[in-house]
Amino acid sequence: MSEQKLRPYFTGDNRTIHYFFPENTLRKAADWKTRERLVLTLHQPPDEMEAMRKNPHLDGFFRGVACADQIVVQAQSQQPYFQEHYPDIPLACIPLGVATGHYKRKTPYRPPEGGTATILTVGNWMRDYETWARTVAALRGRDRLAFRVIANRDTLDRIRGLFDRNIPDNVSLEFGLSDQALQQAYEEAALFFLPLNDAMANDALLEALSLGVPAIYTDLSATRDYAGEGTATFIPRGEPDAAAQAITDLLADPSRALAYSHLARKRAEEHFDWQHVANAYRTCYAHDLT
């Protein structure tokens, strides 16, 4: 139904039609396309793309990708996969952006001093909450440590199942926060902990980056593309003991946490502000029209 709204724009004119989330909506473009310039921003990492290929209901999506005039991916490290599978289609890398003017701290980050340190986790897609739950368990004996998760209801229900519905007293599960409350949650956090199974781009990572929250990320090519070097701690995927140690070490090292905060904000402003992203898309569209 969403894609049908685009149908009137497929008129045979040499115009640019851009699907920003084609994984969700691209199904008919291959049937409708004539002279239009089709730009697709792909969000799924290679392993997820391979899993999608096995779904017969996504045939229209893959036919649409095959007839694109420009593919945009959002992580430099994942370009080789798309170059291999679509060698005849121009490929660009334009990162996901963040509203750095909105996601800006009201007060500078300060490491916790004597009070409870809140470890914040946000989001749903490709999150590794199994490792998160085991990390919480590994740190259960530590005083003045709280874990806060903000996610969809179905994700929170899955987390409850990981604890057999016996949620620890230091865990808070929340949904439906306003934009202002979400930003406040980031600002109140001592650390941001984002365990992932996979990724290409990630809104929560960018929000934490923009707000200068010292962070611990699963070590993936995409998280390094976005966070960069020296702005966060990276841990092996699926290793709760390593995650627990990283949290303990970073809380014990306020000077490193402050450095992460400063460098993260600087990186968000310099690389991921939406104005930079918009300019990259303007260049992409202008190239299509030549």
What pLDDT digit, counting tens, does each position of 137-164 carry?
999 988 899 999 999 999 999 999 999 9
Mean pLDDT computed over every residue of the chain = 95
- Percentage of the residues of the chain whose pLDDT score is greater than 90: 92
Mean pLDDT on 67-76 = 96
What pLDDT digit, counting tens, does each position of 169-186 carry?
999 999 999 999 999 999
At the topology level, CATH places domain 3-96+274-289 in: Rossmann fold (3.40.50)
CATH of 117-271, one of 3.40.50.2000, 3.40.50.300, 3.40.630.10, 3.90.1300.10: 3.40.50.2000
- The contacts of residue 274 (CB under 8 Å, 6+ apart) are 97, 98, 99, 100
Mean pLDDT on 182-211 = 98
CA separation for the pair 259, 215 (Å, rounded): 11
What pLDDT digit, counting tens, does each position of 231-263 carry?
999 999 999 999 999 999 999 999 999 999 999
Mean pLDDT on 261-271 = 97
Can you give the three-state secondary structure of 117-181, one letter per residue? EEEEEECCCCECHHHHHHHHHHCCCCCCEEEEEECCHHHHHHHHHHCCCCCCCCEEEECCCCHHH
CA angle 209, 46, 15 (to 5 degrees): 85
For 279, the 3-state DSSP assignment is: helix
Q: What pLDDT does residue 290 have?
A: 42
Alpha-carbon distances, residue 208 vs 33, 171, 232 (angstroms) = 39, 20, 11
What pLDDT digit, counting tens, does each position of 15-29 carry?
999 999 999 999 999
Residue 55 carries which DSSP code? -
> Which pLDDT band, with edges at 50, 70 and 90, does 288 fall under?
low
CA separation for the pair 82, 87 (Å, rounded): 8
212: its two tokens: 């200068």
Query: Is the predicted pLDDT of residue 289 greater than 50, yes or no?
Result: no
CA separation for the pair 143, 121 (Å, rounded): 19
> Which pLDDT band, with edges at 50, 70 and 90, does 266 fall under?
very high
Task: Tell me if 3-96+274-289 shares its fold with 117-271.
Answer: yes
Per domain, the residue ranges of the chain are 3-96+274-289, 117-271
Does residue 73 contact residue 45 with C-beta atoms inside 8 Å? Answer: no
Query: Is the predicted pLDDT of residue 196 greater than 80, yes or no?
Result: yes
Q: What pLDDT does residue 114 have?
A: 81
